[in-house]
């Protein structure tokens, strides 16, 4: 009978004969299909044994322990974590306790040491398998994160979805980068991505990027591991009150329990993130993740759960707005990030009114700048506010009515409250957020724009301002040409960097912009095509956003590979550009390795002035001493090359265009490090 059972085993060679010395132990790995089993191999008194590698106490790796003998000559394998002892051959503990470790058959052959395993049983569906399948059913295509000890069951469920080609996983080096990537994915697409962490510090590292998504209205799904249920509360290792920690940032915030309706719980989380344009958070205790799913547990899907968004404006507000539009002579339209899905309808309305179209910084790219090389629009007047152009400021000042769509009146944008304002937004809380407006309209932007156009076509007093837009651009471009000549001999000017980008960046590129002086210069000098998308950390203004955001944007360009939904085609294979300063890039510089590992194709333009230039500027403006803003940086281009990407260092202005073209042509992460003058911004 013993021989028959031995014959039924599957044998795996784990090491060479005599590779493991007498009295030693080691960890060996056996790959079976898509799983790996770790075993503790021991060599004691001339015999080999194979034991389960995990100590039953707290999972300590027995293969990292040692065989120790006492004065009585009794020898035991000692766990390296907490000193629990086991017989090196039988796996039994001293004293007859029943918490020994499992053993496996061993066969010493001429060509090596073999371990016999019983045929692998079929995988039994777990609660996290159901939840991962529900994520897929609700349209999630990407997870960013870091796999660790308190999320392994959930990670395995996600792994199975990835192996089946249902979604993709992007491993990162810092959890903050995962959240920023997911936030950028949500800002670009309006659909959530997920970010995965362990308990304790992994979860707390996630919160900054979650706040970025929360305050900018981006959908995001946060999945955090947690200690086992029995250890919740008394201060166990990495035990933190994660529900309480995420309560301020997550609109949906729940613990996954053994008796939860697991598919439905995941569906509710994704639905809340999607419809409320914010953060949904689920906490997964370690021991819950691998519970077998109950018979009849269903995968949640959006069918019959999501209504089409068609919020109509109130008739009273609509009539007020129409009267103002009919009588205005110099209206100006202002587009914010919230208008990004309805630009076609909005531009049709602007063309009827023949009015300039300004954007907030987050709305940059929704309309092409007038006269831009490709994709420009005759009514495009650039960005308004601190990061904007004098063209935009001119038209706001000269206007008699502001028609604002999807903008929340950030103080950085500087929309004056002194004008008559019609404000349209699907977020009711954004209406009149910082000051009163003449006509606040709670409605879907596209619905309202189309109704306006139908109502006022040929029935308004607006003058044609397109020629004036052209004249103001001529004035501004002459000023920019003059500034291009500035050279103090202390680095390349920011305007030169963005002038070169204007020539070579693809007209449908996605640009993720960090926080700092590079941000202001980008808004002022880079001319958008009208088919580009700009991502930034808006209300949070978090330095470090740019590079991981570009990783998130790249994931969106690949989403069509994991979904049949035609929605994703609009992002497919577009070029992705990250624009950062050296201060921002330093926050997540190690993510270059993540990008190389995943084969992420992005071009990074780094304005390196060896200081926190924005802070230096603020210190000077406030009559403070410039203090603690200087930075000691490595040769970043060399660093990127050492990671396996392409790094190019640019010291002279005439090198810019060629360097950018070479980086754009590189298949993988490329960085153009430009040594810039901190004063020429």
**3-state SS of 644-657?**
CCEEEEECCHHHHH
Q: Which two tokens stand for residue 573?
A: 């294979």
> What is the enclosing helix (H) or strand (E) of 38?
strand 35-44
Beta strands in 135-244 (DSSP E): 142-145, 168-171, 194-197, 220-226
Angle at CA of residue 576, ends 168 and 531, nearest 5°: 115
Domain annotation for the chain: domains and CATH numbers:
2-117 (2.102.10.10), 127-285 (3.40.50.970), 315-470 (3.40.50.1220), 484-675 (3.40.50.970)
Here the tokens at position 144 are 């960013």
The DSSP symbol for 110 reads T
Say which DSSP state 419 is in. Answer: S
pLDDT of residue 83 exceeding 50: yes
Q: What is the pLDDT of residues 640-671, one digit of tens each?
A: 999 999 999 999 999 999 999 999 999 999 99
Q: Are 591 and 544 in contact (CB under 8 A)?
A: no
Model pLDDT, residue 373 = 59
Contact 427, 562 (CB under 8 A): no
**pLDDT by residue (tens digit) across 263-310?**
999 999 999 999 999 999 999 999 999 999 998 889 999 999 988 878
Amino acid 580: pLDDT: 97
Is the model's pLDDT at 1 over the cut of 60?
Answer: no
Least confident of 487-491, 506-510, 545-549: 487-491
Percent of the chain with pLDDT over 70: 98
Q: Give this prediction's pTM.
A: 0.89
What is the residue-averaged pLDDT of the chain? 92
pLDDT value for 107: 95
pLDDT confidence of residue 386: 80
pLDDT of residue 3: 42
What's the confidence (pLDDT) of residue 629?
Answer: 86
Give the tens place of pLDDT for each residue, 443-470: 999 999 999 999 999 999 999 999 999 9
Q: Exposed (0-12), middle (13-18) or buried (19+): which is 429, by Cβ within 10 Å?
A: exposed
Q: Which residue has the higher pLDDT, 373 or 513?
A: 513
∠172-603-529 over CA atoms, to 5°? 125
DSSP state of 236: -
Instruction: Give the model's confidence band at 408: pLDDT under 50 very low, under 70 low, under 90 confident, else very high.
Output: confident
212-217: average pLDDT: 95
Res. 623: pLDDT tops 90: no
CB under 8 Å to 167, separation ≥6 — which residues? 135, 136, 140, 141, 142, 143, 158, 161, 562
To the nearest 5 percent, what fractions of the chain are helix, strand and coil? 35, 20, 40
**Rounded Cα–Cα distance for residues 439 and 442 (Å):** 10
Q: 161 in helix, strand or coil? A: helix
For residues 432 and 514, give the distance between their C-alpha atoms in angstroms, rounded to a whole number: 28
The span from the CA of 644 to the CA of 650, in Å, is 19
pLDDT of the residue at 2? 40
Neighbours of 466 (CB within 10 A): 16
Say if residues 274 and 192 touch (Cβ distance below 8 Å). yes
Q: What number is the average pLDDT over the span 140-165?
A: 96
Lowest mean pLDDT among 82-91, 415-424, 576-585: 415-424
How far is it, in rounded angstroms, from Cα 637 to Cα 649? 6
Reported confidence tier of residue 119, pLDDT bands at 50, 70, 90: confident
Confidence of residue 5 (pLDDT cuts 50, 70, 90): low
Q: What is the pLDDT of residues 243-266, one digit of tens each?
A: 999 999 999 999 999 999 999 999
Q: Residue 9, Cα to own-chain centre: how many angstroms?
A: 45
Instruction: Give the CA diameter of the chain.
Output: 104
Handedness of CA 119, 152, 549, 536 (dihedral sign): positive
**Tally of residues, the chain:** 681
């Amino acid at each position: 009978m013993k021989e028959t059972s031995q014959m039924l085993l599957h044998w795996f060679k784990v090491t060479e004969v005599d590779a493991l010395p007498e009295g030693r132990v080691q960890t060996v790995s056996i790959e079976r299909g898509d799983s790996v089993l770790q075993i503790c191999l021991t060599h004691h008194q001339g015999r080999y044994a194979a034991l389960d590698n995990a100590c039953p106490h707290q999972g300590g790796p027995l293969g990292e322990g040692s065989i120790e003998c006492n004065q009585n000559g009794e020898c035991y394998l000692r766990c390296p974590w907490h000193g629990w002892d086991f017989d090196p051959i039988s796996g039994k503990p001293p004293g007859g306790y029943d918490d020994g470790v499992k053993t496996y058959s061993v066969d010493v052959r001429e060509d090596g040491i073999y371990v016999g395993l019983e045929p692998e049983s079929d995988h039994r569906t777990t609660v996290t398998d159901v939840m991962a399948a529900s994520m897929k059913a609700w349209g999630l295509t990407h997870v960013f994160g870091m796999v660790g000890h308190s999320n392994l069951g959930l990670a395995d469920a996600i792994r199975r979805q990835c192996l089946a080609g249902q979604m993709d996983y992007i491993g990162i080096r810092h959890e903050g980068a995962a959240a920023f990537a997911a936030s950028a994915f949500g800002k670009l697409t309006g659909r959530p991505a997920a970010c995965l962490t362990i308990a304790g510090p992994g979860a707390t590292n996630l919160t900054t990027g979650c706040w970025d998504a929360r305050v900018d209205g981006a959908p995001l799904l946060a999945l955090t591991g947690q200690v086992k249920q029995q250890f919740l509360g008394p201060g166990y290792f990495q035990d933190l009150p994660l529900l309480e920690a995420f309560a301020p940032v997550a609109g949906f915030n729940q613990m996954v329990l053994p008796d939860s309706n697991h598919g439905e719980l995941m569906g509710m989380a994704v639905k809340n993130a999607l419809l409320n344009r914010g953060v949904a958070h689920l906490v997964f205790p370690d021991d819950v993740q691998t519970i077998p799913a109950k018979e009849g547990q269903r995968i949640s899907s959006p069918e019959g759960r999501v209504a089409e968004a068609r919020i109509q404006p109130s008739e009273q507000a609509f009539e007020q707005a129409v009267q103002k539009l009919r009588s205005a002579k110099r209206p100006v339209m202002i587009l914010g990030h919230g208008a990004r899905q309805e630009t076609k309808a909005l531009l049709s309305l602007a063309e009827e009114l023949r009015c300039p179209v300004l954007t907030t910084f987050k709305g940059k790219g929704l309309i092409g700048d007038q006269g831009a090389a490709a994709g420009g629009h005759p009514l495009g007047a650039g960005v308004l506010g601190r990061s904007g152009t004098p063209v935009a400021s001119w038209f706001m000042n000269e206007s008699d009515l502001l028609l604002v769509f999807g903008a929340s009146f950030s103080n950085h944008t500087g929309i004056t409250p002194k004008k008559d304002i019609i404000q349209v937004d699907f977020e009711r809380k954004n209406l009149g957020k910082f000051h009163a407006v003449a006509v606040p309209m709670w409605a879907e932007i596209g619905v309202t724009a189309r109704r306006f156009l139908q109502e006022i076509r040929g029935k308004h007093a607006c003058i044609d301002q397109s020629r004036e837009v052209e004249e103001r651009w001529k004035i501004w471009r002459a000023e920019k040409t003059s500034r291009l000549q500035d050279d103090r001999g202390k680095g390349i000017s920011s305007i030169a960097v963005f002038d070169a980008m204007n020539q070579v960046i693809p007209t449908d590129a996605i640009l993720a912009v960090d926080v700092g002086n590079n941000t202001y210069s980008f808004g002022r000098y880079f001319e958008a095509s009208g088919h580009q998308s700009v991502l930034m950390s808006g209300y949070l203004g978090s330095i470090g956003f740019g590079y991981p955001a570009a990783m998130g944007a790249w994931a969106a360009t690949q989403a069509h590979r994991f979904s049949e939904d035609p929605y994703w085609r609009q992002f497919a294979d577009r070029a992705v550009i990250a624009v950062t300063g050296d201060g921002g890039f330093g926050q997540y510089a190690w993510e270059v390795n993540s990008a190389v590992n995943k084969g992420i194709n992005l071009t990074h333009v780094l304005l390196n002035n060896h200081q926190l230039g924005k802070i230096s500027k603020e210190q000077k403006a406030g009559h403070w001493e410039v203090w603690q803003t200087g930075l000691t940086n490595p040769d970043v281009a060399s660093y990127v090359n050492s990671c396996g990407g392409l790094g190019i260092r640019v010291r002279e202005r005439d090198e810019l265009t060629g360097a950018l073209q070479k980086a754009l042509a590189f298949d993988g992460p490329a960085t153009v490090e430009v040594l810039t003058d901190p004063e020429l911004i």
